[in-house]
């Protein structure tokens, strides 16, 4: 077998909103790779994993066509390409295997702020500019609305001003682009974030074991981002109350304190951020010597 066939290929966005997060995440999973800005492929130096740097639009296709084993891409793109393939009579050949914690946005319908809007029926017989024709048509169909999807590859938000459409359907995160163009969000069609997708094709034992290892490490990386290790001293009488105040922690470790009969040391991993208010509440409950440490790695 060609040795390159044994390596895992992961499709990642070359330049854009997902790029830095995707590469940072893989590096946190322990992957070291050769990097150069204009490269199409980054070769993993310490694991048999290579990254293909491509446009995000191409990622679902590359994974569906088995050119890549995994891909990191927005759910919006995965769903749109699935619907496009379906419309062409091709089955979707990739599956979603992991949800990430970045790339949050929503696919929304928006219209001019001075246009009265009375629910989806206001869209009847209008033109809607979008790059997401598949998802828009699916929405229109499920709401029994006849409207025309006008394809725009970018700068969708200027379509109403150009007189090309009455509404737009585009990705929104803060809403500032819509506002700057005098548009108001009317409906949310899809909540999206970055996900890991995998080819449907069986990978073979070795490759699948490596994919499972990466997914497990990803899980660990995502968990430690918010996690903190907290240590404190507590009077035995306040233990139950202090335990309740520890945010998102499972059973804490309770240790005897040398030379003290009424106080114990409590150590816990909190899977949520620990805010000043929490520490103040713990102190008010009787805790002392409070220490909060970041967590470097975690393996469930
Ligand atoms: P490419 O050149 O790779 O095609 P692009 O311009 O299509 O780049 P980006 O704007 O970098 O793509 O967006 C990539 C992904 O980031 C989107 O598909 C979406 O999943 C996510 N995203 C998060 N917030 C936003 C936002 N406010 N606008 C657009 N995309 C967003
Ligand atoms: Zn794109």
CATH of the domain at 218: 3.40.190.10
Task: Say whether both 122 and 184 belong to one domain.
Answer: yes
* 243 C-beta closer than 6 A to ligand 1: no
Model confidence band, residue 6 (pLDDT cutoffs 50, 70, 90): confident
Model confidence band, residue 214 (pLDDT cutoffs 50, 70, 90): very high
Q: Give distance in angstroms: CA of 30 to centre of ligand 1.
A: 26
Q: What does the chain come to in residues?
A: 300
Q: Give distance in angstroms: CA of 121 to centre of ligand 1.
A: 29
Q: Contact, 222 vs 299, CB < 8 A?
A: no
Q: Which domain covers residue 133, as residue numbers?
A: 105-192
Q: For ligand 1, pick from 74, 99, 192, 195 the residue to mutate: most ligand atoms within 8 Å of CB.
A: 74
Task: Say whether both 97 and 246 belong to one domain.
Answer: no
Buried b (16+ CB within 10 A) or exposed e, 165-184: bbbbbbbbeeeebbeebebe
Confidence check: pLDDT of 28 > 80: yes
* 138 C-beta closer than 6 A to ligand 1: no
Please tell me the predicted confidence (pLDDT) of residue 1.
57
Q: Give distance in angstroms: CA of 296 to centre of ligand 1.
A: 30
Please tell me the predicted confidence (pLDDT) of residue 3.
61
Model confidence band, residue 264 (pLDDT cutoffs 50, 70, 90): very high
What digits encode the pLDDT tens for the residues 192-208? 999 999 999 999 999 99
Task: Say whether both 208 and 243 belong to one domain.
Answer: no
* 100 C-beta closer than 6 A to ligand 1: no
Rounded mean pLDDT, 144-151:
98
Rounded mean pLDDT, 162-184:
96
Backbone angles phi, psi at 281, to 5 degrees: -65, -40
Please tell me the predicted confidence (pLDDT) of residue 249.
75
Give the integer Cα–Cα distance in Å for 114 and 226: 42
- Residue nearest (by alpha carbon) to ligand 1 atom 20: 74
Q: Give distance in angstroms: CA of 16 to centre of ligand 1.
A: 6
* 283: in domain: yes
Number of domains in the chain: 3
């Amino acid at each position: 077998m060609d040795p390159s066939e044994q390596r895992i290929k992961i499709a990642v966005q070359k330049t854009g909103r997902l790029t830095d997060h995707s590469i940072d995440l893989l590096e946190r999973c322990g992957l070291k790779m050769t990097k150069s800005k204009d490269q199409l492929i980054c070769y993993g130096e310490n694991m048999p994993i290579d990254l293909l740097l491509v446009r995000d639009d191409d990622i679902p296709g590359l994974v569906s066509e088995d050119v890549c084993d995994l891909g990191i891409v927005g759910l919006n793109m995965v769903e749109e390409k699935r619907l496009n393939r379906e419309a062409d009579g091709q089955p979707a050949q990739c599956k979603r295997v992991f949800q990430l914690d970045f790339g949050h946005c929503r696919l929304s319908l928006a219209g001019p702020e001075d246009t009265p809007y009375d629910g989806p029926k206001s869209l009847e017989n209008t033109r809607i500019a979008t790059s997401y024709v598949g998802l828009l048509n699916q929405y229109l169909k499920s709401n029994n609305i006849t409207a025309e999807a006008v394809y725009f590859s970018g700068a969708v938000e200027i379509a109403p001003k150009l007189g090309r459409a009455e509404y737009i359907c585009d990705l929104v995160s803060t809403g500032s682009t819509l506002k700057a163009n005098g548009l108001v969000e009317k409906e949310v069609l899809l909540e999206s974030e970055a996900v890991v997708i995998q080819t449907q094709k069986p990978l073979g034992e070795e490759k699948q074991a490596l994919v499972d290892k990466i997914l497990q490490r990803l899980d660990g990386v995502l968990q430690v981002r918010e996690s903190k290790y907290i240590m404190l001293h507590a009077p035995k009488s306040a233990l139950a109350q202090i335990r309740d105040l520890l945010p998102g922690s499972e059973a804490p470790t309770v240790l005897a304190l040398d030379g003290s009969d009424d106080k114990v040391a409590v150590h816990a991993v909190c899977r949520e951020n620990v805010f000043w208010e929490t520490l103040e509440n713990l102190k008010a409950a009787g805790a002392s010597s409070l220490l909060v440490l970041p967590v470097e790695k975690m393996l469930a």
